[in-house]
Amino acid sequence: MAVFVTADRGQYHLHVTTSTPMTEPIAFTDSSERLANTMDERDALAWCRDLFHIPASRAHQDGRTSVYLVGNSLGCMPKAASEQVERELQDWRRLGVDAHMEARTPWYSYHEVLRDSAARLVGALPDEVVMMNSLTVNLHLMLASFYRPAGTRTKIIIEDAAFPSDSYAVQSQIVHHGLDPAEHLIRLLPRDGEHTLRTGDVCALIRDRRDEIALVLLPGVNYRTGQLFDMAAITNAAREAGARVGWDLAHAAGNVPMSLHDCKPDFAVWCTYKYLNAGPGSTAGCFVHQRNARDTSLPRLAGWWGNDPATRFEMTPDFVPVPRADAWSLSNPSILSMAPLKASLEIFERVGIEALRNKSVRLTAYLEYLLGDVGSPQITLITPTDPEARGCQLSIAVADGAQTLHETLCRSGVLVDFRRPNIIRAAPVPLYNSFHDVWSFVQVLRGHVAR
Ligand SMILES: *Cc1c(COP(=O)(O)O)cnc(C)c1O
């Protein structure tokens, strides 16, 4: 997909070309509510909003929905989720243990039903993807196989601003190998005065320290700044340096299209309760590139669900890993936490990630335009302005009174989130947010920031 922006006599035009061509370039000509409504009327994906329960505003008594811009923390509930969960409860009630083979979606292979749509979403082959566990658990399982410090190659590269769980996971793995994280963890910092990392700098560091690096672990999209990394360039640099490379896609999955197979990292992990709307603690995703997935000799932590399903119930003492990403699964998975994921993935199958991205680029550009129109010295965007370097989220640094501003927004029925010391994150999600949601958020903000 190509995105470009042109400015013409103070007007801002955004052009997007994708495999599904857009009807016309959008010009954000003014900040009126009327324009927001017009864009919603023209939105080919407006129908998707009705597939979700949008929480009612707790700030109003009239039942109106909140302006829900926190789908990057917990996606809204698909209406079809209840039905999918109820179906499994019924089959359990009706069949007991026989539901493993005789449920409408047999439990024995339930996770396999999710495989194709999950793989399409991240641009992987079906054999490269398994839905299991939760994100950090999957990260540890991947590190057990792909962080194997040896000789001079002992170090892990992460961002200094990595999500804490990732930071804890890699540090504990380093300790697990008897090494000191202070020495064996390299943390990437942006240049002075900058908020995000430059691809060239990341690649240069990997090249310069090539003999020391065992693993590069970065996020597809950074949770705090909203920066979308150039996964292809960094993966290439890491592989050329002879290092293993993995991606944490918590904020990328369901947000931006990806081509994991072609990009060729060793592994990737993601959760499904953020942009994938599968509910709190829902079953996470794991990608193992085909070259590794087929390698049954790789060291791994094993359990019976990673054994070839054809012989799994023969209960033999020797592990026979299936030559797929499935070989990393350990336990029989939670059906009740996969049921909402099934409902959610069916929506992504219907709509398509490319179409969602197409709307998302416009929705976020509209938010950026309106924030610029507010023109307050109190707020600064720290997310990259290049649409190819971000997903849907914009992060706003607030010069002072960030927490008060956040509370005011919440009291007005606008749900955005606050990260210390002064970042407000807003994520307009193309599946269920409207242009009017974006307008409403900025309308409230406008009334409470310095001019
Ligand atoms: C949300 C998120 C997590 C959360 O981990 P869980 O294991 O699902 O609790 C981890 N890493 C990143 C980058 C995240 O954004």
Q: Does ligand 1 lie within 6 Å of residue 135's CB atom? A: yes
Backbone angles phi, psi at 128, to 5 degrees: -90, -5
* CB distance 283 to ligand 1 below 6 Å: no
Question: Which of 166, 228, 277 best tests ligand 1's pocket when mutated (most atoms within 8 Å of CB)?
Answer: 166
Amino acid 25: pLDDT: 53
Cβ–ligand 1 distance for 250 under 6 Å, the answer: yes
**Closest by CA position to 302, among listed 283, 316, 285:** 316
The amino acid at 277: N
Question: Ligand 1 centre from 419 Cα, in Å?
Answer: 15
Q: Interhelix angle for 402-411 vs 435-446, to 10°?
A: 130
Task: Give, in degrees to the nearest 5, the angle at Cα 49 between 252 and 395.
Answer: 40
CA-nearest residue, atom 13 of ligand 1: 163
Q: How far apart are CA 282 and CA 118, in angstroms?
A: 14
The DSSP symbol for 323 reads: S
Give the distance (Å) from ligand 1 centre to CA of residue 268.
13
Kindly give the number of the ligand 1 atom that is closest to the alpha carbon of 163: 13
Decide if 136 contacts 109 (C-beta within 8 A). Answer: no
403 CB under 6 A from ligand 1? no
Q: What is the pLDDT of residue 152?
A: 97
Q: In this predicted structure, what is the pLDDT of residue 300?
A: 96
Dihedral angle, C-alpha 85, 90, 93, 99, nearest 10 °: -80
Q: What is the pLDDT of residue 237?
A: 98
- Numbered ranges of CATH 3.90.1150.10 in the chain: 2-65+353-446
Helix (H, G, I), strand (E, B) or coil at 202: helix
Q: What secondary structure letter does DSSP report for 228?
A: B
- The response to whether residue 163 sits with its C-beta less than 6 Å from ligand 1 reads yes
Nearest CA to ligand 1 atom 1: 250
* Ligand 1 touching residue 270 (CB < 6 A): no
Tokens of 75: 């996606």
Ligand 1 site, residue 165, Cβ cutoff 6 A: yes
Q: Tens-of-pLDDT digits for all 451 residues of the chain?
A: 444 444 444 444 444 444 444 444 567 889 999 999 999 999 999 999 999 999 999 999 999 999 999 999 999 999 999 999 999 999 999 999 999 999 999 999 999 999 999 999 999 999 999 999 999 999 999 999 999 999 999 999 999 999 999 999 999 999 999 999 999 999 999 999 999 999 999 999 999 999 999 999 999 999 999 999 999 999 999 999 999 999 999 999 999 999 999 999 999 999 999 999 999 999 999 999 999 999 999 999 999 999 998 888 888 889 999 999 999 999 999 999 999 999 999 999 999 999 999 999 999 999 999 999 999 999 999 999 999 999 999 999 999 999 999 999 999 999 999 999 999 999 999 999 999 999 999 999 999 999 8
Question: 185-188 and 414-415: which strand pairing?
Answer: unpaired
Tell how far the Cα of 162 is from the centroid of ligand 1, in angstroms: 10
H-only helix segments in 288-434: 290-293, 335-351, 353-374, 402-411
- Which pLDDT score, from 0 to 100, does residue 22 have? 45
Going from the Cα of 165 to the center of ligand 1, the distance in angstroms, rounded, reads 6
Nearest 5°: phi and psi at 155?
A: -100, 150
56 bridge partner residues:
65
Whether the CA torsion 130, 135, 140, 145 is positive or negative: it is positive
DSSP assignment of 123-174: T--GGGEEE-S-HHHHHHHHHHHH---BTTB-EEEEETT--HHHHHHHHHHH
- Which strand (E) or helix (H) includes residue 418? strand 417-419
Alpha-carbon distance of 391 to 302, in angstroms, equals 35
Parallel, antiparallel or unpaired: strands 244-248 and 67-68: unpaired
Instruction: Name which residue sits closest to atom 8 of ligand 1, judged by CA.
Output: 135
Beta bridge partners of 215: 156, 244
d(CA 371, CA 348): 29
Long-range contacts, stretch 26-35, CB < 8 angstroms, 24+ apart: 26/362, 26/365, 26/366, 28/365, 28/366, 28/369, 28/370, 31/369, 31/370, 31/373, 31/439, 31/442, 33/436, 33/439, 33/443
What's the token pair of residue 273? 């309760």
Task: Give the residue, by CA position, lying nearest to ligand 1 atom 15.
Answer: 250
Q: Is the CB of 271 under 6 A from ligand 1?
A: yes
Residue 10 confidence (pLDDT): 41
| Amino acid sitting at position 231 | M
Residues of the chain with CATH 3.40.640.10: 83-350
Pocket probe mutation, ligand 1, options 132, 133, 136, max atoms within 8 Å of Cβ = 136
Class of the 2-65+353-446 domain?
Answer: alpha beta
Closest among 293, 10, 245, 261 to 122, alpha carbons compared: 261
How far apart are the C-alpha atoms of 275 and 286, rounded to whole Å? 16
The CB density around residue 34, as the number of other CB atoms within 10 Å, is 9
Q: Is there a cis peptide before residue 421, judged by omega within 30 degrees of 0?
A: yes
Give the right CATH number for 83-350 from 3.30.70.20, 3.40.640.10, 3.20.20.70, 2.60.40.10.
3.40.640.10
DSSP string, 205-221: HHHHTTTTEEEEEEESB
